[in-house]
Amino acid sequence: MTIDTRALGFGSSERAVYAADPWTSHGRLYPEEGSPTRSDFQRDRDRIVHTTAFRRLKHKTQVFIAQDGDHYRTRLTHTIEVAQIARALARALKLDEDLAEGVALVHDFGHTPFGHTGEDALHEVLLPYGGFDHNAQSLRIVTKLERRYAEFDGINLTWESLEGLVKHNGPLLTPDGVGTRGPVPQPILDYCELHDLELATYASLEAQVAAIADDIAYNTHDIDDGLRSGYLTFDMLEEIPFLAGLMAEVRGRYPHLEPSRFTHEIMRRQITRMVEDVIAVAQERLSLLRPESAADVRAADRVIATFSGRMAETDSQIKAMLFKRIYRNPDIMRIRAGAAQIVTDLFAAYMANPKEMQSHYWVDHIAGLADAPKARHVGDYLAGMTDTYAISAHRRLFDHTPDLR
């Protein structure tokens, strides 16, 4: 596929007709006066950056536990990388860059300590009470758990930002009301009773570019971290034609490059090719759909910002390699088992004695609650923990804490 460079938004403040418009936003759950200096989407992005949840991302695992070294990605550095790619895509497609960046910055708020391991463990212990979903938890954080404003809980984001948070990976319901990926988590349904996020439609194109930016970022940077850790080697990358081609290109131009620079040259080419692929696909689909508004994008029968078939196959090959070589590596699995034990132990301890949740603002009221609402409070508390806090909390309550090295 080729890109129509004349249609790109570089260096232009022009917004396409299909872009989300902050001046005609669907609004906030709690109406507020507008700002004379910032659009509503700018204000959303700024509120997201100033949350406690955003700061906590710096000590939450992406793939490698923070104790493994200072140079590995955390949830925070991953989030910033996603936001950079999302903004680049938004600018190229003449979208609202602030909305795209805001959705990217908030998309991982609901993740637990210890990455997907912590999420799986928390979901398991919360199954009798509705389970755990990090996307639904992100929504709970920005609509309920952040306590910064005198007049409301949460940070009162616009409808468009919340829609992007919830639906950036596509509709949650079919037109017939059936869950597209299983039952819709109850926190999302509860919020939609107050502020309908139209779960059966696609999200804005700004949210779509944030979602594909997430794929591009973690595919590329998990390879980078995998090479740094030694779980991946350049020979392993040769098994994927796309990566083999990038390495041949770099070797041909820089035949005597040291490994660290060689890695960076591969990674930046990978990001560039994937970004350009998404732009070309989006341009082609937009030319066929000819949307006249953001509502037309939502009503479309397909995602617009996505990989081509060829790049989607490459994406699948990279994910398969990462699962085989890193995520399912015996050393990583041992660490994951220890991390899961920490989450499971802490949940049991807090359910037995909620007062052990020393910094929870509702701790004095939880003990008298029934198990279901008490479990949800415990889940909120655990999901908000950083890796380091969870480890220290476990050491305070238990004689033995698993070694996560």
Q: What is the dihedral of CA 10, 13, 19, 22, to 10 degrees?
A: 140
List of the chain residues with pLDDT < 70: 5-13, 62-71, 360-363
Separation of alpha carbons 60 and 66, rounded Å: 7
pLDDT value, residue 67: 52
Contacts of 202 (CB under 8 A, 6+ apart): 167, 170, 171, 208, 297, 298, 299, 300, 303, 304
Tell me: the pLDDT tens digits for 191-233? Answer: 999 999 999 999 999 999 999 999 999 999 999 999 988 999 9
The number of angstroms, rounded, from the C-alpha of 282 to the middle of its chain's C-alpha atoms is 21
Whether 320 and 372 have beta carbons less than 8 Å apart is answered as no
Supply the pLDDT for residue 366: 83
Domains annotated for the chain, with CATH where assigned, are 39-333 (1.10.3210.10), 334-397 (no CATH)
Name which of 188, 213, 9 is nearest 105 in CA terms.
213
What's the pLDDT at 348? 97
Q: Would you say 112 and 383 are in contact if contact means Cβ atoms under 8 Å apart?
A: yes
- Looking at residue 71, what is its pLDDT? 65
For position 68, what pLDDT does the model report? Answer: 54
Q: What is the predicted pLDDT for the residue at 131?
A: 95
